[in-house]
Amino acid sequence: MYLDLKKADWLVKIEEMATDVAQREGCVLYDLELVGTGNGRILRIYIDKDAGVGVEDCSSVSKGLNLLLDANEDAVPGGNYTLEVSTPGLDRILTKPWHFEKVIGKKIYIKLTSSLSTLGVTEKGIASMKQFDEVLAAVEGDQLVFDIRGVNVKIPFSKIEKSKLVFEMKTNSIKKKK
């Protein structure tokens, strides 16, 4: 599902524009989507950077991209839309190989197109699993590697229906003085 997506030419062009503007503003284009119908359509641009994205980054990318899209009125087919620029969030959707590479060692949620048994997993208790939250051990080529209950499991990108980072709140226990 992830590596073989064929994007429409107009979407590729918008992705190129958004990438250029994001890079110029010191960010990276994380992802984009066009959702909704009619006058309720929204073109969402998600940006990221190692130091964290602020409101100023979103505003700068929005202004820059808006200028380009206004100059190319037919860039987004279908009439009116609203442009939104934001971060991918703490529980970010993972769709591209580099998204997964950035979260190695972190817990992610995976929903597969079929159970682990179709990937050759025979161990009771996990063979029937179709979705799970586990720490991503590695990315090897076009596969994700997990250690699920002591079993090394490799999942091809093509078997992933949905995936996202699982936000885990870290708590520090501070002992009170008596």
pLDDT of residue 4: 41
Task: Give pLDDT, residue 74.
Answer: 83
Q: Are 57 and 25 in contact (CB under 8 A)?
A: yes
Domain with CATH 2.30.30.100 in the chain: 97-165
| The model scores a pTM over 0.85 | no
**pLDDT interval class at 110 (50, 70, 90):** very high
Q: Find out whether 143 and 157 touch, Cβ atoms under 8 Å.
A: yes
What class has domain 97-165?
Answer: mainly beta
Average pLDDT across the chain, whole number: 91
What whole-number distance in Å separates Cα of residue 63 and Cα of residue 85? 10
CATH code 3.40.50.1970 for 9-86: no
CA distance 35 to 55: 22
